[in-house]
Amino acid sequence: MSDVVNVTMKVNGTDVSHAIAPRNTLADFLRQTLELTGTHTGCEMGVCGACLVVLDGRVVHSCLTFAVQASGSTIETVEGLSERAAIADLQEAFHQRNALQCGFCTPGMLMTAHSLLSQPGVPSREDIRDALSGNYCRCTGYEAIVDAIEMVARKRHDGAAAPQNEEVGA
Amino acid sequence: MSALTPLDRPNSYIGRSVPRPNAKRLLAGRGRYVTDITLPRMLHVAYVRSPYAHARIVSINALAAREMPGVRLVATGEDLAKLCTPWVGTMDHFKGMKSPPQLPLPIDKVVWSGQAVVAVVADTRALAEDAAEAVTIEFDELPAVVDIDAAREPDAPVISPELGSNLCFHGKIDTGGIDEIFTGAAYVVEEEFHFGRHTAVTMEPRAIIADYDASEGQLTVHHATQTPYQFQDIYSRHYGIPESRVRVIAPDIGGSFGMKLHMYHEDMAVVGLSMMLGRPVKYVADRIESFVSDIHARDHRVRARMAADAEGNILAMDVEDVTGIGAFSAYPRTSVVEGNQVYRLMGAPYTFRNYRADLQVVFQNKVQMSQYRAVGHPVACTVTERLVDMIADKTALDVFDIRSRNMIADDAYPCTSPTGYQFEALSHHACLAKLKAMMDYDRLRAEQAELRTKGIHRGIGIATFVEITNPGPAFYGVGGARISSQDGAIIKITPSGDVHCSISVTELGQGTETIIGQIVAEHLGVDSNRIKVMTGDTDTTPHGGATYACRGAGIGGETALQAAKKLKANVLAVAAAILQDEPEKLDIHSGWIVDAATAQQRMELSEIARIAYFRSDTLPPGTQAQLSVAHHYAPQGYPFAFTNGVQACHLELDVETGLVKILKLWVVEDCGRVINPLLVDEQIRGGVVQGLGAAFFEECVYGDNGQLTNGSLADYLVPMAVEMPDIEIGHVETPTLDTQLGAKGVGEAGTAAASAAALNAINDAMKPFGGTVAQVPMTPARILKALGHI
């Protein structure tokens, strides 16, 4: 296992280059080599959605992608989206609505929500539930997540700012 | 202007929907789970597992593995047994229960498929897995004990011959005269129920890093668990390390649901491996390993009958529960608690006094079964509520009417169940009435009748329940288990007037730290954003029970409340000395010492702290400011704080395909004082969805040879967003008078009754066709079978 290959990619706006074992997945590369631990692995077989990241503008399972396959690509993780405030309104809505408990699925949920809300139009609750069905959550029962995404979808559509400290739920 | 509500008082946080401050970190991807932690010189372990459900270990050959790149250690059961003393999962108050001794890794035989046999430690997990493949183990396969009836046959192979049989525990309850009551009853209904095994599927699998430093004799364990103190005790006793030298840290936990409070063999082994190597060793179960090593839940066959008089008054229940728990009773909480709660919670909402039950807890060659969210409750609730519906059918009573006729009256408390549970105060009738209004029941029934004429088959199911929360020492302590029912908190005021609270209840995402902050803020009199709450570290928090059995809010919350009041008295004593006033004439509002009568601000809390910490020379002689307090609270009074509630499920059944669309769930719940409605409601919703998972999807399916046949997330179904309904929640508040806070637990209420409501709804939808279902999960195939289509 001494064989290594070089991978080069742009991750969260920064060019990175590392020599890694060819069997390393993108998830392992992000988590272990780059220490971007916001991306999680829940099943390592492309089912649970905890490992979703943005690769060249598409949301992909980083557990099903070898790091070498992603060489030359542009990757964005929850850390990158957070730092450039691309999902600040989603994060705020999740927070206010308590749309997370243990938080392990949350980065993947945010990826799916980010992708869904990048599409034109305002998704219905059924659309949101459908889009989230590649993301498992064992804590929330999903409703609060649907509520939070629906709220952001409407606000974005209405051109309004992200919610500010309003009391939600209950 | 509206009247002043309790929420209009200064710093009135109890009862408010306060979002969780610690959730922001998780949202930014900055959670720190055990899976994320890397320590210097850390190694990784992979386990070689048994492919057989039952086999003798003939030989282990690890020569090739030891030579593989990066391998630092290959360890067997014998190696670890030199360091670790065995554990036995029994408790004294379950008379006659037995279970064999367990070791981290087995020495001469394996007792379930997937049991870890050999540990391979290497520089990376991948290298450890490479080397694990080079380990060869010769097994001599033995007959697998799988079926709960075959296991109890006189000629069955006995998994642990020293125990004499495969029966772990046999319990009986009999109030007397049951046969006569059934013989004389106007109506008797009976059913055989099957509750499949399912499992927690926490999104973060089990994870642990043990770090033994021989120079100090210090063991530090980063452990994804909800009960760090329990594991501190276990690691100390079984590895012979003084307790003061064992530190267990539970950082962010990616879901637990009761699954992460049991002793797992791989986890115990990691401690020994770190001691052998003198280096940190990390183990993270992958998902396939989780399915064959995390505890499974339920696994009951219940034969039950219920007798009623001609008016539909329930007279008696007669129950036989057989439950399969795997080859051991889990440690340290035992695998009998589940069955014990099943047969003691039967019929709990109702007034009938005659009850007979038989519980048999059976060993088998499967992974261990033990406590998971709503221990025993869904089984007791489903059996009871289905039988109640069957009596309703016999007597032509509506499902609401049969329940109001038989439920304990709201003014009849305190009272005791036929099985000995003491109820302080429940609110079944208030909850039932509220639910009926919330769901617009009469309209739904009319709609159901109309749709049936169009070939659309909807079902309405309700299920009323009682939940065990706030357990006292009667739960574990009296049985000899070193599991605390009390909690401790240390609250201190920092020199700038902020507040730091470290407490023994733990955070799993349910919001423990948030509600503790709310309680301290309200009872100390400071803004909640000036409070930091710390949990999950045995070195920095007092010893306590942590999180299990819905005790965090009720017991941990009361601990925080009493500690805050104690600290407030200390602050006011110093303030009075400085202000030359009487302490009882002062109060604290929003971080200011105020006149109690007028609320006029006298002095900032930060000024008290500054003087106490830096200018104590200016205090009156003899004044010693005590701006930190430590306080413990152990529940007294009732052995448990029971909660109650009722759920309704509305669904649509496709009678051609057996597919079900769950349309809506309603829950009315009484958890006493609601501290944070936002968090309470999300606990209920999450719990309901786990209950619906058990009702429709989740099952660990075993073959006859004891092999788990669907142990991956591609094969084992968990509820997805698109399958789940919106869930409407209402509350009735009956605070417990055992505490000043008045809160009871709520984390398991959703799971307790969701599958019962769903099962009743399916049977209601199938009514025109005559079929019935009494097995969960209610898969399309089982529904089609009930309908006679297959």
For residue A82, the chain B residues in CB contact (below 8 A) are: 27-29
B-facing residues of A in 146-165 (CB < 8 A) are 146
Judge if B308 and B259 occupy the same domain. no
* CB contact (8 A) between residue A44 and residue B287: yes
Last residue of a domain, one of B579, B607, B633: B633
B748 touches chain A (CB under 8 A): no
Residues B550/B621, Cβ–Cβ less than 8 Å: no
Is the residue at B375 inside a domain?
A: yes
Query: CB neighbours (10 Å) of residue A115?
Result: 15
Q: Report the alpha-carbon distance of residue B241 to residue B381 in Å, rounded.
A: 44
Count interface pairs A-B at CB distance under 8 A. 192
Is the residue at B738 inside a domain?
A: yes
B661 touches chain A (CB under 8 A): no
Is the residue at B192 inside a domain?
A: no
Judge if B209 and B353 occupy the same domain. no
Q: Report the alpha-carbon distance of residue B197 to residue B21 in Å, rounded.
A: 36
Q: Tens digit of pLDDT for each residue in B606-634?
A: 999 999 999 999 999 999 999 999 999 99
Q: Tens digit of pLDDT for each residue in B366-420?
A: 999 999 999 999 999 999 999 999 999 999 999 999 999 999 999 999 999 999 9
* CB contact (8 A) between residue B714 and residue A82: no
For residue A38, the chain B residues in CB contact (below 8 A) are: 28-31
Is the residue at B696 inside a domain?
A: yes
Judge if B341 and B451 occupy the same domain. yes
For residue A130, the chain B residues in CB contact (below 8 A) are: 721-722
Is the residue at A50 inside a domain?
A: yes
- The CATH number linked to A95 is 1.10.150.120
Judge if B609 and B516 occupy the same domain. yes
Q: Sorting pLDDT into bands at 50, 70 and 90, what band is A168?
A: very low
Q: Rounded mean pLDDT of B568-580?
A: 97
- CA-based nearest distance A124→chain B, Å: 12
Q: Which of A142, A149, A150, A164 to mutate to test the interface with B (most CBs of B within 10 A)?
A: A142
A-facing residues of B in 51-80 (CB < 8 A) are 69-70
B554 touches chain A (CB under 8 A): no
Judge if A66 and A113 occupy the same domain. no
Matching residue, tokens 């602050």:
B571
* CB contact (8 A) between residue B17 and residue A168: yes
Judge if A95 and A116 occupy the same domain. yes
pLDDT of residue B11: 84
A12 touches chain B (CB under 8 A): no
Amino acid at B367: V
Last residue of a domain, one of A61, A82, A103: A82
Is the predicted pLDDT of residue B23 greater than 80, yes or no? yes
Q: Sorting pLDDT into bands at 50, 70 and 90, what band is A1?
A: very low
| Residues 6 or more apart whose Cβ sits within 8 Å of residue B217 | B241, B242, B245
Domain count, chain B: 3
Q: Tens digit of pLDDT for each residue in B743-778?
A: 999 999 999 999 999 999 999 999 999 999 999 999
Q: Map B316-346 to HEC letters.
A: EEEEEEEEECCCCCCCCCCCCHHHHHHHHHC
Q: Tens digit of pLDDT for each residue in B659-708?
A: 999 999 999 999 999 999 999 999 999 999 999 999 999 999 999 999 99
Is the residue at A15 inside a domain?
A: yes
Is the residue at A143 inside a domain?
A: yes
Q: Tens digit of pLDDT for each residue in B726-746?
A: 999 999 999 999 999 999 999
Q: Sorting pLDDT into bands at 50, 70 and 90, what band is B84?
A: very high
A-facing residues of B in 237-266 (CB < 8 A) are 252-257
Judge if A72 and A108 occupy the same domain. no
* DSSP-derived 3-state class of residue B8: helix
* CB contact (8 A) between residue B682 and residue A144: yes
Judge if A72 and A115 occupy the same domain. no
- CA-based nearest distance B302→chain A, Å: 27
Judge if A78 and A142 occupy the same domain. no
Q: Rounded mean pLDDT of B258-272?
A: 98
Last residue of a domain, one of B572, B605, B633: B633
Is the predicted pLDDT of residue A163 greater than 70, yes or no? no
Is the residue at B326 inside a domain?
A: yes
Judge if B368 and B439 occupy the same domain. yes
Is the residue at B182 inside a domain?
A: no
B-facing residues of A in 74-103 (CB < 8 A) are 77-79, 82, 91, 94-96, 98, 100-103
Domain count, chain A: 2
pLDDT of residue B7: 64
Q: Sorting pLDDT into bands at 50, 70 and 90, what band is A161?
A: very low
For residue B26, the chain A residues in CB contact (below 8 A) are: 100, 102-103, 106
Which of B36, B127, B722 minimises the CB distance to A129? Answer: B722
* CB contact (8 A) between residue B508 and residue A102: yes
For residue A135, the chain B residues in CB contact (below 8 A) are: 721
B-facing residues of A in 40-59 (CB < 8 A) are 40-45, 47-48, 50
- CA-based nearest distance A133→chain B, Å: 5
Q: Rounded mean pLDDT of B3-27?
A: 84
Last residue of a domain, one of A52, A82, A112: A82
Exposed e or buried b for every residue in B657-694, given b needs 16+ CB within 10 A? ebebebbebbbbbbbbbbbbbbbbbbbbbbbbbbbbbb
Q: Tens digit of pLDDT for each residue in B182-230?
A: 999 999 999 999 999 999 999 999 999 999 999 999 999 999 999 999 9
Q: Tens digit of pLDDT for each residue in B104-137?
A: 999 999 999 999 999 999 999 999 999 999 999 9
Which of A39, A43, A140 minimises the CB distance to B287? Answer: A43
pLDDT of residue B581: 97
* CB contact (8 A) between residue A37 and residue B32: yes
B339 touches chain A (CB under 8 A): no
Q: Which of B26, B27, B717 to mutate to test the interface with A (most CBs of A within 10 A)?
A: B27
Is the residue at A168 inside a domain?
A: no
Judge if A110 and A70 occupy the same domain. no
For residue B204, the chain A residues in CB contact (below 8 A) are: 40, 42, 102, 104
Is the residue at A165 inside a domain?
A: no
**Average model confidence (pLDDT) across chain B:** 97
Judge if A73 and A25 occupy the same domain. yes
- Report, in this order, helix, strand and coil percent for chain B, each rounded to 5: 30, 25, 40
Predicted structure pTM score: 0.96
Token pair listed for B281: 């060793």
Judge if B603 and B659 occupy the same domain. no
- The CATH number linked to B55 is 3.90.1170.50
Judge if A106 and A76 occupy the same domain. no
* CB contact (8 A) between residue A45 and residue B714: yes
Identify which of B786, B784, B764 has the alpha carbon closest to the alpha carbon of residue B773.
B786
| Residues 6 or more apart whose Cβ sits within 8 Å of residue A10 | A16, A73, A74, A75
Judge if A100 and A151 occupy the same domain. yes
Judge if B242 and B121 occupy the same domain. yes
Token pair listed for B115: 């049991």
Judge if A70 and A93 occupy the same domain. no
Is the predicted pLDDT of residue B6 greater than 80, yes or no? no
Q: Map B514-577 to HEC letters.
A: HHHHHHHHHHHCCCHHHEEEECCECCCCCCCCCCCCCCHHHHHHHHHHHHHHHHHHHHHHHHHH
Is the predicted pLDDT of residue B470 greater than 90, yes or no? yes
* CB contact (8 A) between residue A77 and residue B255: no
Identify which of B248, B198, B253 has the alpha carbon closest to the alpha carbon of residue B228.
B248
Token pair listed for A55: 């690769």
* CB contact (8 A) between residue B721 and residue A107: no
Domain that includes residue A68, residue range: 5-82
Please state the ipTM of this predicted complex. 0.97
- CA-based nearest distance A159→chain B, Å: 23
**Average model confidence (pLDDT) across chain A:** 93
The separation between CA B320 and the C-alpha centre of its own chain, rounded to angstroms, equals 24
Is the residue at A166 inside a domain?
A: no
Q: Sorting pLDDT into bands at 50, 70 and 90, what band is A2?
A: low
Exposed e or buried b for every residue in B80-109, given b needs 16+ CB within 10 A? bbebbeebebbbebbeebbbbebbbbbeeb
Last residue of a domain, one of B607, B633, B659: B633
Judge if A75 and A94 occupy the same domain. no
Kindly state the DSSP code that residue B157 receives in the 8-state scheme. P
Domain that includes residue B394, residue range: 296-473+637-786
A21 touches chain B (CB under 8 A): yes
Judge if B209 and B316 occupy the same domain. no
Judge if B380 and B239 occupy the same domain. no
Q: Report the alpha-carbon distance of residue B546 to residue B541 in Å, rounded.
A: 10
Q: Sorting pLDDT into bands at 50, 70 and 90, what band is A160?
A: low
Is the residue at B187 inside a domain?
A: no
Q: Sorting pLDDT into bands at 50, 70 and 90, what band is A159?
A: confident
pLDDT of residue B287: 97
A-facing residues of B in 686-715 (CB < 8 A) are 686-690, 712-714
- The CATH number linked to B315 is 3.30.365.10
Considering Cα of B556, then B562, then B566, then B568, what sign does the dihedral take? positive
Is the predicted pLDDT of residue A170 greater than 80, yes or no? no
Q: Tens digit of pLDDT for each residue in B294-308?
A: 999 999 999 999 999
Q: Is B624 exposed, middle or buried (0-12, 13-18, 19+ CB in 10 A)?
A: exposed
Token pair listed for B699: 């099952």
Is the predicted pLDDT of residue B604 greater than 60, yes or no? yes
A123 touches chain B (CB under 8 A): no
Judge if A46 and A93 occupy the same domain. no
* DSSP-derived 3-state class of residue B491: strand
Is the residue at B181 inside a domain?
A: no
Judge if B360 and B503 occupy the same domain. no
- CA-based nearest distance B677→chain A, Å: 5
Last residue of a domain, one of A82, A108, A127: A82
For residue A88, the chain B residues in CB contact (below 8 A) are: none
| Residues 6 or more apart whose Cβ sits within 8 Å of residue B6 | B12, B14, B15
Is the predicted pLDDT of residue B480 greater than 50, yes or no? yes
* CB contact (8 A) between residue A144 and residue B29: no
Beta bridge partner(s), residue A14? A11
Q: Rounded mean pLDDT of A27-43?
A: 98
Which of B36, B127, B677 minimises the CB distance to A170? Answer: B677
pLDDT of residue A165: 39
